[in-house]
Structure 1
């Protein structure tokens, strides 16, 4: 299991467009990718669950990947978040 923390920098937080892109990125991997923040947890492949987390600018997000390609999954999620949020 691999984990990293990320602070949301986008002034709008995680809204529809980046959430949709995040889901597409997460679905490229076999590993289960989980997002935790605001006292809520969501599977990265589920758009409505991510939107329901209500993550705004400055929120701390913990990303966990567990599975056969967890190293690649966590690296891709970290790169995605840094370039999009």
Structure 2
């Protein structure tokens, strides 16, 4: 299992378009992907779960990946957030 923390810096936080980009990327990996925010855990492959998180600009989230391709998944997802979901 590996984990990494990242701060949302895009203008609208984890809104529908950003959540969709996150899901599109996370679904490419076999590993389990979870997101921690405010001591709550969310499914990193579920758009409903991610939107329910209510993550806004400035929020810190922790991405947790567990499985055969966990390191590549974590690296890619953190970079996606840092790149502001390519918006």
TM range, smaller chain:
over 0.9
Cross-structure match for 1:9: 9
Instruction: Tell me the TM-score normalized by structure 1.
Output: 0.93
Q: In structure 1, the residue corresponding to 2:53 is in which secondary structure?
A: coil
Counterpart Cα distance in 2 of 1:11 and 1:20: 16
Cross-structure match for 1:44: 44
Shift of 1:60: 0.9
Q: In structure 1, the residue corresponding to 2:5 is in which secondary structure?
A: strand
Contact 2:8–2:84 (CA<8 Å) still a contact in 1? no
Cross-structure match for 2:67: 67
Shift of 1:47: 0.0
Number of aligned residue pairs: 85
C-alpha RMSD of matched pairs (Å) = 1.1
Shift of 1:10: 1.5
**5+ residue gaps, structure 1:** none
Shift of 1:12: 1.2
Matches within 5 A, 1:47-58: 47-58=47-58
Instruction: Tell me the TM-score normalized by structure 2.
Output: 0.91
Q: In structure 1, the residue corresponding to 2:4 is in which secondary structure?
A: strand
**5+ residue gaps, structure 2:** none
